[in-house]
Amino acid sequence: MSAPAPNTHPTVQPPRPDVPALPYSEHVPNLLASYEKFGGLNNSDSHNMPSKRAVGEICEGLLQLLFPGFHDEDVVHHGTLAEVTASRMADVMLRLEDQVRKSVRVGNPKKPTGKTPPILQKFCKALHIVREILQTDIEEAYNNDPSARSHEEIILSYPFIEAISIQRLAHRLYRLGAPMIPRMMTEWAHSRTGIDIHPGASIGGHFFIDHGTGIVIGETCRIGNNVRIYHGVTLGARTFIKDEEGHVVKGLKRHPDVEDNVTIYPNSTILGGETVIGANSTIGANVFLMNSVPPDSLVIYEEKQLKILDKSVRKNPAPAWSI
């Protein structure tokens, strides 16, 4: 692990002696010394750093644009929908543009950001396409979950809809070259839903995650259409290749591909950039895979050493007779 970047900010000034001491102020000098020593963890003099809180609020605004009326306390009437949408679009996009511009300038506050507005224009242009894909996800959930009573219930209460909505939006920004913000968006969704999908993952339509807690989908995953995944599934990396200096090589294909019409049941782990799950396959629960499987495969663990005992016999054992 490389050391933090040296501190390039002016020396941190200690508290003035004429200012009354505050509670616990005796510990401040040690913290100030840490600021000096580990400058790479500081951002006290920079105004270009993206805000996690602002990105979270932007995600909320984007969800309002995708699902008008579902993320509002008050009714959005059809007669005012155009006006409300235009106002929200302007507000969310201007705030997002500001955060993207700041992300571009991280480490270089004077870096030109002329590409930021075109990125946001292309992103904004694709919002209706994201909605169309999300409609297929909602349909897939309704058709495959017997507990789903309506599309409205799915939008309001299924965590995977929030997670995949933000991921599909973040994926657009990721592909357009916006740094940092896509990852911040998906981590916002991860913290709320327990579903961790990297913005780099490419995911087809009619995607359904049942329950969702503990799912991890890596950056270079490619997932086809009509794929269903259950809680606890990991689509991860097998190994990390390092260069001659021992640093992890970036940008390689590290995560598996899942072709069309695949179902992956709970707590299965599939690893490796060369691993491909063939179309129409089913991966059973608790499977660990690091190799490809052909189309139309059923991958399961057969029960071994499984015992089913009579509890009543165990609770009332025969008396032990002594001689």
Per the CB < 8 A criterion, the answer to whether 195 and 212 are in contact is yes
Q: What is the pLDDT of residues 130-155, one digit of tens each?
A: 999 999 999 999 999 999 999 999 99
Q: What is the pLDDT of residues 192-202, one digit of tens each?
A: 999 999 999 99
Q: In terms of pLDDT, which residue wins out, 310 or 53? A: 53
Per-residue pLDDT at 314 exceeds 80: no
For the chain, give the percent of residues with pLDDT over 90: 64
What percent of the chain shows pLDDT beyond 70?
86
Convert the pLDDT of each residue in 242-267 to its tens digit: 888 888 888 899 999 999 999 999 99
Out of 184-193, 249-258, 262-271, 312-321, least confident range: 312-321
**What is d(CA 38, CA 28) in angstroms, rounded to the nearest whole number?**
15
Lowest average pLDDT, out of 4-18, 19-33, 55-69, 87-101, goes to: 4-18
pLDDT reading at 219 higher than 90: yes
Q: What is the mean pLDDT of residues 73-99?
A: 86
pTM of the model: 0.84
Annotate the chain with three-state secondary structure.
CCCCCCCCCCCCCCCCCCCCCCCCHHHHHHHHHHHHHCHHHCCCCCCCCCCHHHHHHHHHHHHHHHCCCCCCCCCCCHHHHHHHHHHHHHHHHHHHHHHHHHHHCCCCCCCCCCCHHHHHHHHHHCHHHHHHHHHHHHHHHHHHCCCCCCHHHHHHHCHHHHHHHHHHHHHHHHHHCCCCHHHHHHHHHHHHHCCEECCCCEECCCCEEECCCCCEECCCCEECCCCEEECCCEEECCCCCECCCCCECCCCCCCCEECCCCEECCCCEEECCCCEECCCCEECCCCEECCCECCCCEECCCCCCCCCCCHHHHHCCCCCCCC
pLDDT tens digits, 272-306? 999 999 999 999 999 999 999 999 999 998 877 77
Q: Please tell me the predicted confidence (pLDDT) of residue 323.
A: 44
Q: 6-20, pLDDT tens digit by residue?
A: 444 455 566 666 667
Model confidence at 42, in pLDDT bands (50, 70, 90)? Answer: low
AA identity, residue 269: T
At 112 the pLDDT is: 79
Looking at residue 15, what is its pLDDT? 60
